[in-house]
Chain A
Amino acid sequence: MSKEKFDYFINGEKGKYEVVIGLEVHAQVLSNSKLFSGSSTKFGADPNKQVSLIDSAFPGMLPVINEECVKQAVRTGLGLNAKINNYSVFDRKNYFYADLPQGYQISQYKNPIVGEGKVLLDMPYGSKEIGIERLHLEQDAGKSIHDMDPSSTYVDLNRSGIALMEIVSKPDLRSPDEVNVYIKKLRSIMRYLGTCDGNMQEGSLRADVNVSVRLAGDKKFGTRCEIKNVNSIKFMQMAIEYEANRQVELLEEGKQIDQETRLFDTKKNETRSMRSKEDAHDYRYFPDPDLLPLKLEQKLIEDLKKSLPELPDNKKERFIQEYGLNSYEANVLVSEKEISDYYEEVAKLSDKKLAATWMMGDLFAMLNNKGLNISNSPISAKNFAELVQSIKSGEISGRIAKEVFEIMVESGDNPKKIIESKGMKQQSDPKKLEKMINEILSKNKDKVDQYKAGKEKLFGFFVGQVMKLSGGKANPQLTNEILKKLLKG
């Protein structure tokens, strides 16, 4: 594969600016109950139906850590090749807000459960490593609803206390594209692990985006701005694009960038100042005295490590080795666990390489058109494998295969049955083909003469006639061979 060159820079009078991006991703932990209470975490319940006395901070209520959430954080840490800390501490982050019932969020400040790790990105210009600074567990807040009533705000605490993993990257990202690939990679790893469903529409995955710019080649980072709570990859990319250009403009005008927190307005496609560094909250972090420090046995970590599923990077390597795929194909086919599972099922029953081509071509195009994903594909892996095998064995041509594929999508039927019942089997009997071709040649003597006189492009005409007569079922390879032979004679 040819390697493109990285070229995301913003040009100014003073030179070429490099954009530096770091992400704080908030990933909702997949667990049945909340981080410190037994309330359900299911999405979509009526407001305030999944709220315990703990989540709503009644007097005398105490948090008790949900072990499953801890395990999920450890699994995620392991998936990020990160250091798991045997000792971590829950702290209180104090601030007042109507949807924060305790008046503090329980989070991890100085001692997070997971330390440094790394994520590998496959970029068109090669593989790039993004450093992970840390991962910590924290409670989600509730939701304030400002537009239900002109004079009051309503509060829904269903989300209050749900476990989040905050995954902080190092400032290693350099373009909106890298952010796109990074988020998808993180999501893919967590989905493989089953630690976060990555559903951005439901808010299971969102990010604070830190952006700064500097002249290419500068060693020092520029002043950064943090764009809060962006909930789609597209918005992240738009926000970065806007924010980086805003900062470059300021620098070009000789102005300074103020370190501040900004909001991305998705309607106007711009970021707006939310609060400056001076107005930043003093969260008065201190260790939560209601919770003991979290001490993890090495054995628990080892056991979790052993039970980890195969992750995208390893699977990609295996796909290349085992199935003879190229790096690009392997990358696409491991991008989501369900896709890789589907592929492996197909590859077991059919030609591995042809299966990859057809999956990444017709199958993905169809799913994309229909807005479906692989897990609700109208074509089962088994049927898809049969189709691939029918092509490979020469039973049907690639062109017929496309027709069969369409029928499979509509009916969900088995390809053998479709080929059988519609008589779509490829004509591969040389004798029958020869007879058919002779018939055509004798009907078109003039054209045969012209061909023999040197008008070789008429060959296509004869092929077309064979296909027409055979209803498209003539084996193209065989047709070519026989045609050539007979025209010579």
Chain B
Amino acid sequence: MSNITNQSLSEILKSIKSKKISSLELTQAYIKNIENAKKLNSFVTTTFDQALENAKKFDNKPNNEQLLSGVPLAVKDLFCTENVKTTAGSNILNNFIPSYESTVTKNLWKNGAFLLGKLNCDEFAMGSSNETSFFGNVINPVGDHLVPGGSSGGSSSALAADLTPATIGTDTGGSIRQPASFTGTVGLKPTYGLCSRWGIVAFASSLDQAGPMTKTVNDCSIMLEAMSGFDEKDSTSINKKKETYSKNLKDNIKGLKIGIPKEYRVDNMPKEIDELWEKGKKILKDLGAQLIDISLPHTKYALPTYYIVAPAEASSNLARYDGVRYGYRSQKGKDLIEMYENTRSEGFGDEVKRRILIGTYVLSSGYYDAYYLKAQKVRQLIKKDFDDSFTKVDAILTPSTPSSAFKIGEKTNDPVSMYLNDIFTVPVNLAGLPALSLPAGLDKKGYPLGLQLIGKALDEQKILNIGYAFEKNCGYKNEIKKWWS
């Protein structure tokens, strides 16, 4: 079973449930992989002892009725984990050990999984390349000079490098879908409110949503089923009956209407992206779906709107990191104000500071109406664009990103070009919709490219079904060579 870690989560689950492999053997295999992959820097914290204990416990008393029976999982370090350091990729939380478990991770453990470690991410999930982490940048297994995307870059890197059978990330403006696209993996941002935000270090509350990152669409449906659900501790959580996404997964998409929004054909988009999109359309058409041209006229305002709303909320959400009750506290300063200033200057990195500044500015009196209020209005228009379109189509197909993975350091000094990487993913967050990024092909350098399927609110099952059918007919193959070990 030397290559068990190459397999998908659902295959691994079959092996566990049929006792072809024990949870302990599986866990040991991942630990070995992780130890050989330190170069990728995808882990901030490992919990091997705890994982081995849990694996043994499972093997002694296996419960095979669960969705994630006996499976070790590494998760993004934005999820608070009880008694395990949770950093959010920031110096300001580098000593923070929560006494509580986030609802989403608790749901995973309730379904039989256990923690393998905490995955690197952009600081407070602010970034598109995992270069803003206090714990250093993460490397994309696709190539030693490439970023894994962000902010869930540790998650995409670890998943693509077989360091975890599946993982979870958070997506505020594309933080699951863009890294999935850069690493040839599947990433889903669920409908806002489907997964509880309780216990997830907040970036922008009205946009943040946790979601699965997996090797296959089937895996994605299993993970989503395990992690989602109503939580009375989150006031924005949606109270609805739990769905069995994996059981209901179907590959018949005949007659479904797929919208193709003209506004997603942006200027200077690489030809390869366009070709990928064409390829996607053809696959869906061949499967019996109907392609329909649609218009989402306010798409061009999505990125500026996002970069007002998200920093505004972040500037307030991050005010609690003041050194008073937990986390990093500067020893310098003679009074409260200086303590704040030094703690936050030393504790936060540049990108976080940039966004706190932007957010503070757009909420300031005299600017509020021109920026924040206007952005909220535009956000409604963007949402309405989608609502209108979904009266005509079942799902929308777009590229996930305007390019493949870029080089480490390539965009570090050009925040706007970095922000532009989220151009196709951000509108979905503003509208609170579910969207799935699927590996769809390679560019001529051999780097993965993804396509995005956007669904109606709470219509995860449909985009998973389309993705499932697409996956079977796309013929995408991951060509990652394990150069790091």
- B96 contacts across to A, CB distance below 8 A: 59
In the complex, residue of chain B having the shortest beta-carbon distance to the beta carbon of A36: B235
CA distance A56 to B327 in the complex (A): 13
Interface contact B316-A92, CB-CB below 8 Å: yes
Q: In the assembled complex, which residues on chain B have CB atoms less than 8 Å from the CB atom of A222?
A: none
Q: Do residues B319 and A94 form an inter-chain contact, with CB atoms below 8 A?
A: yes
**10 A-B contacts, Cβ less than 8 Å apart?**
A58-B100, A58-B325, A60-B80, A60-B197, A64-B232, A94-B315, A102-B319, A284-B368, A290-B202, A291-B235
Contact check, A103 vs B325: say whether CB atoms are below 8 A apart.
Answer: no
Q: Let me know if A481 is at the binding interface, CB within 8 A.
A: no
- Beta-carbon nearest neighbor of A51 in chain B: B325
Chain B residues lying within 8 Å of A332, measured Cβ to Cβ, are none
Question: Is the pair A290, B205 in contact by a Cβ cutoff of 8 Å?
Answer: yes
Identify which of B241-249, B276-284, B290-298, B357-365 touches chain A. Answer: B357-365
**Residue-by-residue, is A43-73 near B (CB-CB < 8 Å gives 1, otherwise 0)?**
0000000000100111111111100000000
Which of A61, A97, A103, A282 is packed against the most chain B CB atoms within 10 Å? Answer: A103
Report yes or no: B319 in contact with A103, Cβ–Cβ below 8 A.
yes
Residues of A with C-beta under 8 A to B322: 96, 98, 103
Q: Which residues of B contact A (CB under 8 A)?
A: 80, 86, 88, 93, 96, 98-100, 102, 197-202, 204-206, 232-236, 312-313, 315-316, 318-320, 322, 324-326, 336, 340, 360, 363-365, 368, 372
Contact B98 A58 (CB under 8 A): yes
Neighbour of B316 across the interface among A61, A94, A153, A291, CB < 8 A: A94
B363 touches A290 (CB 8 A): no
Query: Given known contacts A286-B312, A286-B368, A292-B236, what 10 new A-B pairs fall within 8 Å (CB)?
Result: A57-B320, A58-B325, A60-B80, A60-B197, A60-B200, A62-B197, A92-B316, A94-B363, A103-B318, A292-B235
Most chain A Cβ neighbours within 10 Å, of B102, B201, B322, B326: B322
In the assembled complex, A104 has its CB within 8 A of some CB on chain B: yes
Give the contacting residue for A98; candidates B315, B320, B336; CB below 8 A: B336
Q: Which of A84-99 contact B (CB under 8 A)?
A: 92, 94, 96-98
Q: Is the interface of B mostly helix, strand, loop or mixed?
A: loop
| Interface contact B233-A64, CB-CB below 8 Å | yes
Question: Once the chains bind, are B233 and A62 in contact (CB under 8 Å)?
Answer: yes
Q: Which residues in chain A, 288-345, are within 8 Å of chain B measured between CB atoms? A: 288-292
Distance in angstroms between the alpha carbons of A53 and B200 in the assembled complex: 13
Q: Which residues of A contact B98 (CB under 8 A)?
A: 58-60
A312 to B: closest C-beta gap in Å = 36
Q: Which residue of B lies closest to A56 (CB)?
A: B325
Cβ–Cβ contact B336 & A153, under 8 A: yes
A59 touching B320 in the complex, CB below 8 Å, given contacts A289-B313, A290-B235, A291-B235: yes
Q: How far is the CB of B34 from chain A (nearest CB, A)?
A: 25
Bound CA span A53–B320, Å = 12
Q: Looking across the interface, which residue of chain A has its beta carbon closest to that of B199? A: A60
Residues of A within 8 A of B340 (CB): 96
- In the complex, what distance in Å separates the CA atom of A102 from the CA atom of B86? 19
Instruction: List chain A residues, Cβ under 8 A from B336.
Output: 97-98, 153
Instruction: Please tell me if the beta carbons of A101 and B320 are within 8 angstroms of each other in the complex.
Output: yes
Residues of B within 8 Å of A92, CB to CB, are: 316
Q: Is the CB of A282 within 8 A of B206?
A: no
Give Cα A282 to B316, complex, Å.
13
CB A481 to nearest CB in B, in angstroms, measures: 79
CA distance A94 to B235 in the complex (A): 21
**At the interface, is chain A mostly helix, strand, loop or mixed?**
loop
A94 partner residues in chain B, CB cutoff 8 A: 315-316, 319, 363
Does A155 contact B235, Cβ atoms closer than 8 Å?
no
Which of B236, B312, B320, B326 is A290 in contact with, Cβ under 8 Å? B236
Of all chain B residues, which has the CB nearest A157?
B325
Q: Across the interface, do B326 and A60 meet the contact criterion of CB distance under 8 Å?
A: no
Closest residue of chain A to B196 (Cβ to Cβ) is A62
Interface centre among A57, A58, A104 (most CB of B within 10 A): A58
Query: Are A59 and B202 in contact, CB atoms less than 8 angstroms apart?
Result: yes
Residue pair A282, B202 in contact (C-beta under 8 Å): no
Q: Are B319's CB and A65's CB within 8 A?
A: no
CB atoms of B236 and A59 under 8 A apart: no
**When the two chains form their complex, are residues B80 and A104 in contact, meaning their CB atoms are under 8 A apart?**
no
Contacts of B204 in A (CB 8 A): 289
* Residue pair A284, B364 in contact (C-beta under 8 Å): yes
CB-nearest residue of chain A relative to B334?
A151
Distance of A94 Cα from B368 Cα, bound (Å): 14
- B contact residues around A286 at 8 Å (CB): 312, 316, 363, 368, 372
- The winner among A64, A98, A284, A291 for most chain B CB atoms within 10 A is A284
Shortest CB-to-CB span from B367 to chain A, Å, is 10
Contact between A59 and B80, CB atoms less than 8 A apart = yes
Q: Are B235 and A63 in contact (CB under 8 A)?
A: yes
Q: Which residues of B contact A97 (CB under 8 A)?
A: 336
Q: Can you name the residue of chain B whose Cβ is closest to the Cβ of A155?
A: B324
Question: Does A103 lie within 8 Å of B316, measured CB to CB?
Answer: yes
A96 / chain B contacts, CB cutoff of 8 Å: 319, 322, 340
Separation in Å of the B320 CB from the closest CB of chain A? 4
Could you say which residues of chain A place their CB within 8 Å of the CB of B198? 60-62
Q: Would B320 and A102 count as touching, CB distance under 8 A?
A: yes
A64 to B231, CA, bound (A): 11
User: In chain A, what residue has the closest Cβ to B206?
Assistant: A289
In Å, the complex CA distance between A57 and B364 comes to 23
Min CB distance, A141 to chain B, in Å? 13
Enumerate chain B residues within 8 angstroms of A103, measured Cβ to Cβ. 316, 318-320, 322
When chains A and B are docked, how far (Å) is the Cα of A123 from the Cα of B154? Answer: 71
Q: Is the CB of A104 within 8 A of B197?
A: no
Asked if B102 and A60 make an inter-chain contact with CB atoms under 8 angstroms apart, the answer reads yes
Given A94-B363, A98-B324, A282-B365, A62–B319 Cβ distance below 8 Å? no
Residues of chain A with a CB closer than 8 A to B318's CB = 103
A290 to B231, CA, bound (A): 13
Cα–Cα distance between A289 and B236 once the two chains are bound (Å): 9
A86 to chain B, nearest CB (A): 18
Q: Is the CB of A59 within 8 A of B93?
A: yes
Cβ contact within 8 Å between B235 and A282 = no
Q: Are B360 and A59 in contact (CB under 8 A)?
A: no
Asked whether, in the complex, the Cβ of A284 is within 8 Å of the Cβ of B324, the reply is no
Q: Which of A57, A62, A65 contacts B325 (CB 8 A)?
A: A57
A104: chain B residues at CB < 8 Å are 316, 319
Which residues of B lie under 8 Å from residue A290 when comparing CB positions? 202, 205, 235-236
Task: For A56, list chain B residues within 8 Å (CB).
Answer: 325
Expressed in whole angstroms, the minimum distance between the Cβ of A137 and any Cβ of chain B is 15
The CA-CA distance from A104 to B317 in the complex, in Å, is 9
Query: Roughly how many angstroms separate A96 CA and B341 CA in the complex, as a whole number?
Result: 11
